[in-house]
A and B are shown apart, each in its own frame.
Chain A
């Protein structure tokens, strides 16, 4: 009788829950495809497939965090293997006898062995998960009902599986398959020896069968509305991820006559990829743990940001599906969690994107929201208005006349492109090198080194304009594009063979963002260029003044462009110079606080990022803090002053340290 009706019940349960699951998933998918903003991620398919292997199957980024990484990997692989058995169980439930045993005992037995061990692995991983969330409770980890439900589901599933298999063993103690059950065999023997009749043991195994099945199906129905959605979305999100380290900000088409809005105002302004990012978030909190804004008490936490955007997306799903989005509110508003303070706190350091195991692009949400605030609502920190004005009128964020741009090198005999258009290297000085007193000294050191190495170079002088980074990162895409287009025109007039920049921001924008505006050149940061000159023997460093040095990574060199080694190579090439790394170095380096145009904004909330970083640098005991970016130098110099260490510790650019070691 039981065998006659079981298939119907199994089928009904599966059909019902799968329908619900598909129905919910379809809504999620339709939401993505209903979003009008485009994003093209159809390039480099082989690299994308590779990325799925490395980051999904290989759990590369997940494993960057040891204990939770291992726990997750056990759960992940355990689930994949156990799922084979779960499918088998469902099929067998409907068509009795149709199961993996048909493959022969040799194969089936091995599968049972592996699955049984993996069940234990998943259970251990889950136990660690509970321990971490209930006992360790790291600050960056949000433990809500959702997270605990997911853990409980998983634990329940594994326990039910053990129950089912153990009672099966007890129900048929003579079966040759029993030897393959590593854990369940042990438990089954105990049950058997307790004197339970095989018939009752069979009933027990069926009870656990149902428990397991219903838990699986319940979990399936739970997934689409929970943080566990990542098991569906993480794979695709990694496939469609931003490939490589460097990236350009989205170029907004400002000439689009039909555009009624620019940037990300309403949630419906997201692209499908932006929405997929939101689906994929596992709420692991790693981004928050790395975020300089979160670390210093700003209202911005990248994981909260993603969470709040997702809440907004789900809240307005119906409107998006119905394509009735005119009435939707802006995401950035006082009561959405995403306030203006959140959006402006970001230094665009990309520490969040670096650690995110599922490759979410948090800065895109921030940059696009800033664009909307500035272009559509003229809403931005008051300090930025002067910066925008200066950029408009004098092409530099500071109040200096554009015709004094080359004054810094008046006494240095530096050629200008207008007089020497065939120069091998165009030295793009940047606004800091041209106008900031401290950075002018760095520019002077670079000139000295270039001359020493007989490099044929010239600068643009008055023809040079701000590269556009501060305006662009501050959301003023209109002003940024104006500056970029003017620079592109100048560059294309000279078509330089190589562009050398004295600033990581110039470097990044010229290298990665100018291509979209029709200027593709070989752009190199001064640390890379100078380290090459050393390697070629054109610069021969001798013992210099600086002995104990620590190096601060600039975000726009490191995390944005993967340049970690060249500045270190330069320092290493100087005899008797000893570099002590800070605990947070290279891709884990903490931002100085100046990126994302934060250089020009006041830091009114929380503690100061530059102080946090300076304390770390001072703790190394180094007498010189080396930097490779004028903004980092300014921030760290301010930090050293605030800590009253200016008599003992100096902040210098790597180029200055090198120049002082060469007579």
Chain B
């Protein structure tokens, strides 16, 4: 029984993002890359699944440049059994990523479950898991908080607006995209970190998947940073004057009312 976890390596939340000289990508110097926190929930969920289903093999898959190997090692240290690295260029879009993941998974063995995070915290696109499910012709449920597994189906709780829960029962194989709160990801023990360092990470090229780096639907024309947040403005005077000034500022300066 094969279980996959698809993961992305993203800049650390505290990294200062700078636009690269080409104006179309980010400058990756000085960026600390981490395993996307949502994908971490997915990794944890897959390991917990395996703890209850010892026959399962968990395969971590990541598509991206060579640096993503570190994210795969993190997943291996947490408890994944094997890992596949799909070599993709830095700026690959969600379409190519999803397609390459789908093909690599198909090649590697029929999935029983595919876990992933609900979105990556860098571009926040939240597209890959659904596109990948589409390419694999599998059902996908995203923003999942809870899963109960049985032999042929999974009962899922999905968070929707306002904290309400939708309940699903989905036949396996299926794609499950984790929301924060699905579990508490574990901290890898030292022996597992050491073992992970020695595990082989299988590298797959686009050519092996019958794809090329031009199989994209989106290209970036320009990137820019959001405007710097201005300093706080303090309004003084009595309450009536303050209210008046506030309305004027919202209307004239911020132009929101």
Contacts and interface: CB of A to CB of B under 8 A. Distances in A.
A371 to B, nearest CB: 9
Nearest to B184: A382
A203 interface: no
Interface string A364-393: 000000000011111010100100100001
Looking at chain A's contact residues, the main secondary structure is: helix
Contacts of A402: 14, 32
A138 interface: no
A262 B190 contact: yes
B190 A254 contact: yes
A377 B14 contact: no
Given A399-B13, A401-B12, 13 more contacts: A262-B190, A375-B190, A378-B187, A378-B188, A380-B187, A385-B187, A393-B14, A393-B32, A394-B12, A394-B14, A400-B14, A401-B16, A478-B190
Contacts of A394: 12, 14, 32
21 contacts: A262-B190, A375-B189, A376-B189, A376-B191, A378-B186, A380-B187, A385-B187, A388-B187, A393-B14, A393-B34, A394-B12, A394-B14, A399-B13, A399-B14, A400-B14, A401-B12, A401-B14, A402-B14, A403-B15, A403-B16, A478-B193
B237 interface: no
B30 interface: yes
Contacts of B14: 393-394, 399-402, 404
B161 to A, nearest CB: 28
A656 B49 CA distance: 55
Contacts of A400: 14
A478 B193 CA distance: 10
A377 B15 contact: no
Contacts, number: 41
Nearest to A375: B190
Nearest to A398: B14
Given A382-B184, A403-B30, A393 B190 contact: no
B190 A376 contact: yes
Contacts of A254: 190
B92 to A, nearest CB: 24
A432 B190 CA distance: 28
Contacts of B16: 401, 403-404
Interface in B162-216: 184, 186-191, 193
A380 B189 CA distance: 11
Nearest to B34: A393
Contacts of B190: 254, 262, 375-376, 478
A382 B187 CA distance: 10
B5 to A, nearest CB: 19
Contacts of B32: 393-394, 402
Contacts of B187: 374, 378, 380, 385, 388
Contacts of A388: 187
Interface in A381-439: 382, 385, 388, 393-394, 399-404
Nearest to A371: B190
Given A382-B184, A394-B32, A401 B15 contact: yes
Contacts of A382: 184
Nearest to B190: A375
Contact of A378 (B12, B15, B189): B189
Contacts of A380: 187
A393 B187 CA distance: 14
Looking at chain B's contact residues, the main secondary structure is: loop
A382 B185 CA distance: 11
Given A394-B12, A399-B13, A377 B189 contact: yes
Contacts of B193: 478
A509 to B, nearest CB: 21
B110 to A, nearest CB: 32
A404 B30 CA distance: 11
Contacts of B13: 399
A401 B15 CA distance: 5
A316 B190 CA distance: 27
Contacts of B34: 393
A402 B189 CA distance: 25
Contacts of B184: 382
B183 to A, nearest CB: 13
Nearest to A399: B14
Nearest to A252: B190
A649 B165 CA distance: 50
Contacts of A404: 14, 16
Shortest Cβ-Cβ A-B pairs, 8 listed: A401-B14, A375-B190, A393-B12, A378-B187, A378-B189, A393-B32, A394-B14, A478-B190
Contacts of A378: 186-189
A374 B186 CA distance: 11
Nearest to B33: A393
A368 to B, nearest CB: 14
Nearest to B188: A378
A399 B12 CA distance: 10
Nearest to A254: B190
Nearest to B194: A254
A388 B184 CA distance: 15
Contacts of B30: 403
A401 B31 CA distance: 10
Interface string B19-42: 000000000001010100000000
Contacts of A401: 12, 14-16
B246 to A, nearest CB: 28
Interface string A4-38: 00000000000000000000000000000000000
A619 to B, nearest CB: 39
B231 to A, nearest CB: 15
A375 B30 CA distance: 29
A618 B30 CA distance: 47
Interface in A156-179: none
A651 B163 CA distance: 43
A382 B186 CA distance: 10
Contacts of B189: 375-378
A504 to B, nearest CB: 26
B54 to A, nearest CB: 20
A377 to B, nearest CB: 7
Most-contacted residue by chain A among B15, B30, B187 (CB, 10 A): B187
A378 B15 CA distance: 27
A374 B184 CA distance: 16
Nearest to B18: A403
A262 B194 CA distance: 13
B61 to A, nearest CB: 23
B209 to A, nearest CB: 31
A401 B17 CA distance: 11
Contacts of B186: 378
A388 B186 CA distance: 12
B30 to A, nearest CB: 6
Contacts of B188: 378
Contacts of A374: 187
A583 to B, nearest CB: 41
Nearest to A385: B187
A248 to B, nearest CB: 20
A58 B189 CA distance: 47
A161 to B, nearest CB: 59
A512 B248 CA distance: 61
Nearest to B193: A478
A385 B184 CA distance: 10
Interface string A584-615: 00000000000000000000000000000000
A118 B230 CA distance: 83
A394 B30 CA distance: 11
Nearest to B187: A378
Nearest to B191: A376
A376 to B, nearest CB: 6
Nearest to A382: B184
A526 B45 CA distance: 48
Contacts of A393: 12, 14, 32, 34
Interface string A278-303: 00000000000000000000000000
Most-contacted residue by chain B among A262, A378, A382 (CB, 10 A): A378
A332 to B, nearest CB: 15
